[in-house]
Homo-oligomer: A and B are copies of this chain.
Amino acid sequence: MIVQSSYGKSRVRLVQVLRQPDRHDLRDLTIAIRFEGDYDASYADGDNSAVLPTDTMKNTVYALAAQRAVGESEAFGLRLAQHFLDRNARLNRVRIDLTEHAWGRIPRGERQHGQAFMQAGSGSRTAAVEAGRDGVSVSAGIADLVVMKTAHSAFTGFPRDQFTTLPETRDRLLATALTATWRYSSTDLDFGPTWRAVRSTLLEVFAEHHSESVQHTLFAMGQGVLDAIGDVDVIHLVMPNRHHLPVDLSPFGLENRNEVFVATEEPHGLIEATLARGGPSPS
Q: Mark A37-81, 1 if CB is under 8 A from B, else 0.
A: 001111111111111111110111011011100000000000000
Give Cα A97–Cα B13 distance, bound, in whole angstroms.
Answer: 28
What is the minimal beta-carbon distance from A130 to any residue of chain B, in angstroms?
16
Within 8 A of B (CB), among A229-278: 234, 240-241, 244, 247, 249, 251-256, 258-278
Give Cα A6–Cα B10 distance, bound, in whole angstroms.
Answer: 28
A104 touches B119 (CB 8 A): no
Residues in B whose Cβ lies below 8 Å from that of A212: 42, 46-48
Residue of B nearest to A103 (CB): B148
B283 touches A44 (CB 8 A): yes
Task: Tell me if A11 is interfacial: C-beta within 8 Å of chain B.
Answer: yes
Task: Tell me if A108 is interfacial: C-beta within 8 Å of chain B.
Answer: yes
Give Cα A59–Cα B146 distance, bound, in whole angstroms.
Answer: 27
State the majority secondary structure of interface residues on A. mixed
A43: contacting residue among B39, B259, B273, CB under 8 A: B273
Give Cα A261–Cα B24 distance, bound, in whole angstroms.
Answer: 14
B14 touches A262 (CB 8 A): yes
Residue of B nearest to A266 (CB): B11
Of the candidate stretches A110-118, A132-140, A187-195, the one touching chain B is A110-118
A164: contacting residue among B53, B160, B216, B247, CB under 8 A: B53
What is the minimal beta-carbon distance from A16 to any residue of chain B, in angstroms?
6
A62 touches B122 (CB 8 A): no
Within 8 A of B (CB), among A155-174: 155-166, 173
Residues in B whose Cβ lies below 8 Å from that of A119: 121-122, 146-147
| Given A48-B158, A63-B249, A207-B113: A9 and B270 interface contact (C-beta under 8 Å) | yes
Can you identify 26 A-B contacts, CB atoms within 8 angstroms?
A: A1-B281, A2-B283, A7-B270, A9-B267, A10-B270, A11-B266, A13-B262, A15-B262, A16-B261, A17-B150, A19-B258, A26-B148, A28-B263, A46-B213, A49-B159, A56-B160, A58-B267, A59-B252, A66-B252, A66-B259, A108-B207, A116-B207, A117-B147, A120-B122, A121-B121, A163-B252
Other A-B pairs, 8, CB within 8 Å; known A3-B234, A48-B212, A117-B149: A1-B277, A4-B273, A7-B270, A9-B268, A26-B150, A34-B270, A66-B254, A118-B121
